[in-house]
Amino acid sequence: MEPILRVENITKRFGGLTAVNRVNLEVNPGEVVGLVGDNGAGKSTLIKMVSGVYHPSEGAIYFEGKPAVINTPSQARDMGIETIYQDLALAGNLTMSANIFLGRERKKKYLGGAVRILDEKFMLQEALKLLETLDVHLPAPSAKIEKLSGGQRQAVAIARALYWNARLMIMDEPTNNLGVIEQAKVLDLIRRLKEQHVPVILISHTMRDIFAVSDRIIVLHRGRKVADKRTSETSNEELVQYIMGARDDFEAARA
């Protein structure tokens, strides 16, 4: 089976600091890959190269088998790489449907296209249908995002990605700052993505979450990949050793 995403020997340097150091990574269709590591290990930097925020200093990215040049976040999105950011990337002063359609608003045309009015009704209905498939029910669908709870916002961000035909979903600490119930809801959303065959890269500090939803776990330590294991074949204790830098499966390969 061909991987959706293949990252080869990718490196990112910030001045003298090597944040990501010759990392290889593959994500297969329908797979949830957990990405773990200590603070500053390079997790966010790695996925930001895939989502077009940073340009790799070295290395190559292949998406659906083809070499991918990803210069901007919108290029990544056009290819179907959707990222749910740590800080969510929603506009708090807009409604749920305005956020889902932000940058790709649906318009009604008048006077032969000279006048274009936002088609609010269409956008709201589409958004509600979508949230329905994710089993998310908002008490007030036309409320501004800033009035929603953290989990509801997370659901909106995921719904947005789904609506625009995500081929790969990247989530950086999606359960941060959420209550217990809400965390469970987000994990549930990840399972639903998997059901819809959308592969997910999940960054989390919470090992319980990683074990709950991932098929495979990759550990970064100081910018290097030190482990790449099937979730069913590893344990919390073992992963902690990799995260601390006490073990490294690829030391020999790098030498």
Partner 1 sequence: MASQSRAEALSHPASRKPRSTQQQAILAASKVWSWIFLAALVAYFSWNGTGFFTLRNSQNILVALVPIILMGLGQTFVIISGGIDLSVGWVMGLASVMSAIVIRDQVNSGTNVEIAILMGFAVGIGCGLIAGLVSGTITAKLRVPPFIVTLGVSFVARGIGFLKAEGNVVGGQPVELRNLGNESLLYFVRGDEGGLYFLKKPDVIGAQLRLLDRVFTWPVVITFIIVLIGMFVLAKTQFGRHTYAIGGNKDASSRAGVPVDRHIILLYVLSAGTSALAGVLHTARFSGGAADAGDPIMMMSIAAVVIGGVSLFGGEGRVIGTVIGAMILAVLQTGLIMINVQTFYQYIVVGIIVIMAVLMDQARDIIIGRAEE
Ligand X SMILES: Nc1ncnc2c1ncn2[C@@H]1O[C@H](COP(=O)(O)OP(=O)(O)O)[C@@H](O)[C@H]1O
Taking alpha carbons only, the member of 4, 168, 146 closest to residue 83 is 168
What angle, 0 to 180 degrees and rounded to 10, lies between the N-to-C axes of helices 150-163 and 180-195? 10
CB of 140 to partner 1, least distance (A): 10
- Provide, rounded to whole angstroms, the least separation between the CB of residue 182 and Mg ion: 20
CB of 97 to partner 1, least distance (A): 11
Find the shortest distance in angstroms from Cβ 1 to Mg ion: 29
Q: Which is nearer to Mg ion, 37 or 151 (CB)?
A: 37
Q: Which residues bind ligand X (CB under 6 A)?
A: 14, 17, 19, 37, 39-45
Q: How far apart, in whole angstroms, are the C-alpha atoms of residue 63 and residue 197?
A: 16
Minimum CB distance to partner 1 smaller for 36 or for 127: 127
What string of DSSP letters covers 46-102?
A: HHHHHTTSS--SEEEEEETTEE----SHHHHHHHTEEEE-TT----TTSBHHHHHTT
Phi, psi of 55 (to 5 degrees): -100, 135
Taking CB within 5 to 8 Å according to partner kind, which of partner 1, Mg ion, ligand X, none is near residue 17? ligand X
Residue 235 in contact with residue 217, Cβ under 8 Å? no
CA distances for 58 relative to 21, 23, 53, 143, 223, angstroms: 9, 10, 15, 45, 13
* 90, 168, 186, 239: which one binds partner 1 (CB under 8 A): 90
**182 interacts with partner 1 by CB under 8 A:** yes
| Structure token pair of residue 165 | 């035909």
Instruction: Say whether residue 180 binds partner 1 (CB under 8 A).
Output: yes
Which positions from 185 to 224 touch partner 1 by CB under 8 A, shown as an x/- string? x---------------------------------------
- Are 22 and 254 in contact by the 8 Å Cβ rule? The answer is yes
Residue 44 contacts Mg ion per CB under 5 A: yes
Radius of gyration of the chain (CA): 19
Sorted by sequence, the CB contacts under 8 Å of residue 164 that are 6+ apart come out as 77, 80, 82, 104
Q: What is the nearest approach in angstroms of Mg ion to the Cβ of residue 47?
A: 9
109 part of the interface to partner 1, by CB under 8 A = no
* Residue 40 interaction partner, one of Mg ion, ligand X, partner 1, none, beta carbon < 5-8 Å per kind: ligand X
Q: Which stretch binds partner 1 (CB under 8 A): 72-80, 186-194, 207-215, 232-240?
A: 72-80
The span from the CA of 161 to the CA of 174, in Å, is 14
Does position 148 interact with partner 1 (CB under 8 A)? The reply is yes
Binding stretches for partner 1 (CB under 8 A): 73-74, 77, 83, 85, 87-94, 98-99, 102-105, 107, 116-118, 139, 146-152, 179-182, 185
Binding stretches for Mg ion (CB under 5 A): 44
